[in-house]
Structure 1
Amino acid sequence: MTIQVSPSAIPNSDAVSVTSTLLDRDAYLVGLLNQVTVPASEGWLQELRDRAANWVRHSTIPTTREEEWRFTDLSELRQVEFRRAVDKLNVETLHATSLQNAGDNRLVFVNGVYAPELSAVANLPSGVVVGNLSALSLPEQERVQQHLAQAEGALEVFTALNTAGISDVAVVLVAKNVIVATPIHLLFMTVAGETATISQPRCLVVAETGSQVSVVEDYQTTPDAEGVYLTNAVTEIVIADNAHVNHTRVERESKQAFHIGKTAVTQARYSRYTCHAITLGGKLSRHNLEILQTGEQTETTLNGLTMIADSQVADTHSAIALNHPYGTSKQLHKCIVGDRAHAVFNGKVFVPKPAQLTDAAQLNRNLLLSPKARVDTKPQLEITADNVKCAHGATVSQLEDDEIFYLQSRGIDANDARKLLVNAFAAEIINHIPVASLREELLHTVTTWKQG
């Protein structure tokens, strides 16, 4: 999808109710909606849910006939009957390493339910609020109300489904001019059960004027977990004037899982946003990364790494709307594809006429490790401004025999030579991650990864 939706986000019921014949257009989607629906309550959050649910009932699950989903077939997803994930399971099933790497400042959700006994948010500076929605004070909830489900792209079907089923939210609020020195880790653990389950994590990060914060958003399952589940995640990041957010997103779900994620970022003038998006897990995964510039002279840096094998499908769609002058955008997304896996990259950069003196660069580099590995790449620039500096490109290659031979001539066997080259390819992205423990863990994952 493109970022061309009104900031009013989800429309009201009257605007949505075009005709009663459009209700419940997709029986499977309505079944998912029924599973994620939470008990009714009063107040603004219920109104938000109701409007989103009304929109979902007018929608359908995307198919390959739609341009935005042309290379990603959801027919296998439709064959699974998902049930709402049971409330928080025994936390002892969690792997200690996951919590150790989560650091000192963390929120932990298990199967979509907040786990306060695993979370640690006491060592935060004044002016920083980190918690789940139900634990916030009334003024803090009012701040959340101003931003929750207000980002562009709220009408996308899976985003609306998430909004319709909001039961809790991981919230990070950073006050004006506050600098958070240590990263805040948002850990979402799924413990698969005997039946296929669906959980819908929701995050909201608000960095007020002049503030700085690093956030790690981490989707995991327990080690050697078996079972099918769907994670439908939405994260909204609001960056005020001259604020800086460094965001690391790691998806390492079960190889039988489905993962659909949305990251919607709003950047005010002079703000900076850096994203490191790592995709490793999931039978089928999709990440929609959407950046909306609302003021001049913003800086946006997007680094992405997809590393898949077996028959995994990983789809990354990004859209950057640079609507004001003097904006800078740099994007590098790499894919390492082995066995019969299939990677998709579609990156759009919009530069309308008001966005003069924009500097935007986009590059997608792909490494295929198997004759049956596949990648579909489509970097795009849509430019109507006439005084800009913009470039985009894509490369698809295999490991070079000459490079392997050179390493062999230095006493390295062929298998280790392949690993060394793959590691170097991935390290360019991973080395930018600001959390040392996570960076080392991911580098170890690349080193021990089955390359196909």
Structure 2
Amino acid sequence: MAAHTGGNALVSGVRAGCRRGAARRSAGGVRRAPGGRATAAGGAPSVSKDAWLAETIPTITGDGALSNGHSGARAAALEALRSLRVPTTRDEAYRFTDVSPIVQRQMSVPPGADAAVLADAVAARPMEAARGSTVVVVDGVVDANLTDLSSIPEGVYVGGAEGAPEDALARVGELSNEMGGPFATLNTATARDAVFLVVPEGVVLEQPVHVLYLSTTSTDEGTPATSPRALAVLGAGASAELVEEFATVGDGAHLTTQVTEAHLAPRATLHHRYVELQAAPSFHLKLTAVHQAEESVYEHTEVRIGGQISRQDLLIRQLGEATNTKMRHFVLTGEQQLHDLHSQLVLDFPRGEADQVHKCIVHGATGRGVFNGNVQVNRGAQQTDAGQLTRNLLLAPKATVNALPNLQIVADDVACTHGCAISDLEDEQLFYFRARGIDEDVARQALVYSFGLEVVAEIRQEELRKRCEAAVRASLGALAAAVPAGEDGA
């Protein structure tokens, strides 16, 4: 079960004295469980991509504080969409991610929900650490009645586009226009509001900022669609934690195209937590774009469990010396689910550090996990220390993972590691439990349940961490039934 083929590790001039002797390369690629299906690179069912864009834009576009104040950015995005099309599996970036189930749907305006229903949805997702620093976004628009920013210190701006600093407003779309694809451009063209986190130079924001995105769903023919955004701007030496949590109100379908942009000035630190727990029929397409100046630190922790199709494009640029980037990802994929992570980290300056760990479980025969991780160490990035590891667990016949780790090294004075593993549980792990008198089924369940908790544990907020643990247990079902529940029932 541990075999894998077809990955990329493009290494040029790696010095012999690298950690572990050299740049360690382990090929990624396609893995099929016994009886599994082949990974086709052919095209998706034919649909009218241009017609979908043309029909979707006016359907989901509305007025708002962001759209009214930045008609130029919206106009530029609309113009760009004229030359863009919805990607198919013939496009390399979407080779394993068929978005035709989205395109075949007719988008609609979100139905909304009663105030009491929304209040209950917020109450069900508490975060004590963010009391007084919580923004609630309903169908892409900041809800002032549900938002509580009473603990935000003077000089820091957290909130929607209305009242945001002009210099921050001017930066909306700065990264997504350069780095995003058609869905990010669709977001720019249709977004009505955005969440802003602006931390001045030298300010350390003690509390996390919790952004709770609630999307109302529908079981009718039309699929509600929204375009929420967020922008974080941290001054020199500033520090903050941004926690983005995505959930749905109702069990129907919803399309979320979301964009988060982050600008980190020299020596700034941003801890970014991203949790997606949307309803099973939903579609979730997210772009996270980050620019890091010298000596800045960006930590990204991602947990994705919900949705029918869920994809994040994570694009990071290190723009100065001694910059640090840490990425942790856990995706859990069941029946009729596709979870995709495309990440790209570009290092151009000396003494940069990068550390990426990706974990994926596919436990449904019709589930698919996709990882395409590109770490690019360019000529100027001498003395870089970079590591990338993807581990994938297949628990059902025909379950599929496409793992494409890609470490490109042009610099010749680096310490880099690179690895990929795709398998079922290892016999050695099971033997360890059985040698101590633990039943094999119980051992398997404990190992499966704990596989992704290394990443989940990096979420510092206890309530959110427990929500993730409960979602893992619910998704795994019988595969984790023997694992003792926590006090919260997780």
Same fold (TM over 0.5): yes
Unaligned 5+ segments in structure 1 are: 1-23
User: What RMSD in Å do the two structures reach over aligned CA positions?
Assistant: 2.1
Match of 2:279, as an amino acid?
A: S
Does residue 200 (structure 1) correspond to residue 227 (structure 2)? The answer is yes
Partner of 1:357 in structure 2?
A: 383
Residue 237 of structure 1, aligned match among 242, 262, 265: 262
Partner of 1:7 in structure 2?
A: none
Equivalence map 1:25-40=2 (5 Å): 26-39=50-63
Residues 80-113 of structure 1: CA deviation (Å, up to 9, x unaligned) = 1011324565352443553423731110011222
Partner of 1:113 in structure 2?
A: 141
Partner of 1:317 in structure 2?
A: 342
Partner of 1:13 in structure 2?
A: none
2-structure distance, mates of 1:392, 1:403:
23
Residue 67 of structure 1, aligned match among 77, 92, 96: 92
Match of 1:323, as an amino acid?
A: D
Partner of 1:47 in structure 2?
A: 72
Deviates more, 1:34-43 or 1:198-207: 34-43
2:476 is paired with a residue whose SS is coil
1:309–1:338 CA contact under 8 A, matched in 2: yes
2:394–2:423 CA contact under 8 A, matched in 1: yes
Partner of 1:78 in structure 2?
A: 103
Alignment CA distance shift 1:55-1:419 (3 Å): same
Alignment CA distance shift 1:267-1:367 (3 Å): same
1-structure distance, mates of 2:291, 2:124:
30
Deviates more, 1:63-72 or 1:397-406: 397-406
- Give the TM-score of the pair, scaled to structure 2: 0.82
Match of 1:303, as an amino acid?
A: R
1-structure distance, mates of 2:349, 2:114:
47
Partner of 1:164 in structure 2?
A: 189
Partner of 2:253 in structure 1?
A: 228
Partner of 2:214 in structure 1?
A: 189
Does residue 100 (structure 1) correspond to residue 126 (structure 2)? The answer is yes
How far off its partner does 1:273 sit?
0.3
2:243–2:274 CA contact under 8 A, matched in 1: yes
- Bigger relative contact order (CA 8 A; separation at least 6): 2
2-structure distance, mates of 1:308, 1:297:
36
Residues 154-205 of structure 1: CA deviation (Å, up to 9, x unaligned) = 4511111111112111111111111111111001011212331101110001
How far off its partner does 1:401 sit?
4.3
Partner of 1:251 in structure 2?
A: 276
1:422 is paired with a residue whose SS is helix
Partner of 1:19 in structure 2?
A: none
Partner of 1:20 in structure 2?
A: none
Residue 172 of structure 2, aligned match among 148, 172, 176: 148
Partner of 2:297 in structure 1?
A: 272
Does residue 177 (structure 1) correspond to residue 205 (structure 2)? The answer is no
1-structure distance, mates of 2:59, 2:75:
15
Match of 2:376, as an amino acid?
A: F
Does residue 131 (structure 1) correspond to residue 131 (structure 2)? The answer is no
1:227 is paired with a residue whose SS is coil
Deviates more, 1:281-290 or 1:367-376: 367-376
1-structure distance, mates of 2:350, 2:191:
36
2-structure distance, mates of 1:262, 1:155:
7
Match of 1:328, as an amino acid?
A: E
1:40–1:46 CA contact under 8 A, matched in 2: no
1:135 is paired with a residue whose SS is coil
1:366 is paired with a residue whose SS is strand
- Give the TM-score of the pair, scaled to structure 1: 0.89
Match of 2:171, as an amino acid?
A: H
Partner of 1:391 in structure 2?
A: 417
